[in-house]
């Protein structure tokens, strides 16, 4: 029987793409509408990986007007609508990511995305960035009955992409990604330029990289 190809499964926000500028701009548009002060990028960046709800709650609290819980669902809906319309205004792939994807693709790897962003927005963003066709599967928060850090989310993504769970590496930027890989029994490469606070090195990933130029060596070492 032909061996299944090795697979790399990437987180999206803070791992493949620097989405913080558009997410923070969306937050500040919402705060402006509510006549609250904008949040500086440096203060809001660490909250980006926690999702829209956490970003909104932190922004309102920092502005001195914590949002009433009954308002949160509507605020999240407004946030996502604005974000979708501006999803790639400033967002870019991290330096070297495009070239790394091409290298692994040409070497016969399967590539996939496993994110807690909604699947629809993940597809849209990757299309706008011109790399959606690189991925055999793009899986988001609603793709499966569970989401990260449940290890079954990673295993299901691998299966959907036609990869081999025994020849898989997770690439992420956060504790959630490290935990997801651990729960799936897969090795994990963490990037240190994402949105983790504390630094992702605190969660003992199998490899830590500071640029996508380092991913080939890290991933192939883990795959043996």
Asked if omega into 198 is within 30° of 0 (cis), the reply is yes
Q: What phi and psi values does residue 185 have, to the nearest 5 degrees?
A: 75, 30
CA atoms within a 13 Å half-sphere pointing along the CA-CB vector of 130 = 6
Per the annotation, the verdict on 197 as an active-site residue is no
Cβ burial, residue 44 (10 Å; 0-12/13-18/19+) = buried
Residue from 11, 22, 173, 206 carrying the catalytic annotation: 11
DSSP H helices, the chain, are 20-33, 41-44, 52-62, 72-85, 97-106, 119-128, 151-161, 175-184, 215-223
- Residue 140 CA: distances (Å) to CA of 108, 123, 154, 158, 211: 24, 9, 11, 13, 25
Structure tokens at 78: 């407004």
Would you name the residues annotated as active-site residues?
11
């Amino acid at each position: 029987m032909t061996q299944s190809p090795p697979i790399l499964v990437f987180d999206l926000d803070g791992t493949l793409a620097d989405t913080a500028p558009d997410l923070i701009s969306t937050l500040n548009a919402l705060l402006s509408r509510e006549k609250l002060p904008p949040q500086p990028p440096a203060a809001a960046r660490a909250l980006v990986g926690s999702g829209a709800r956490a970003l909104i709650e932190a922004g309102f609290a920092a502005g001195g007007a914590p949002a009433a819980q009954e308002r949160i669902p509507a605020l999240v809906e407004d946030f996502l609508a604005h974000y979708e319309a501006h999803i790639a205004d400033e967002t870019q792939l991290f330096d070297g990511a495009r070239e790394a994807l091409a290298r692994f693709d040409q070497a016969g790897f399967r590539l996939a995305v496993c994110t807690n962003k909604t699947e629809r927005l993940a597809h849209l963003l990757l299309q706008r960035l011109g790399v959606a066709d690189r991925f055999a599967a793009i899986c988001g928060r609603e793709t499966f009955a569970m989401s990260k850090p449940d290890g079954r989310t990673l295993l299901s993504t691998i299966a959907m992409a036609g990869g081999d769970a025994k020849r898989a590496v997770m690439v992420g930027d956060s504790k959630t990604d490290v935990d997801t890989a651990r729960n799936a029994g897969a090795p994990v490469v963490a990037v240190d330029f994402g949105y983790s606070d504390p630094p992702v090195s605190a969660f003992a990933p199998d490899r830590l990289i500071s640029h996508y130029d380092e991913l080939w060596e890290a991933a192939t070492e883990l795959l043996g």
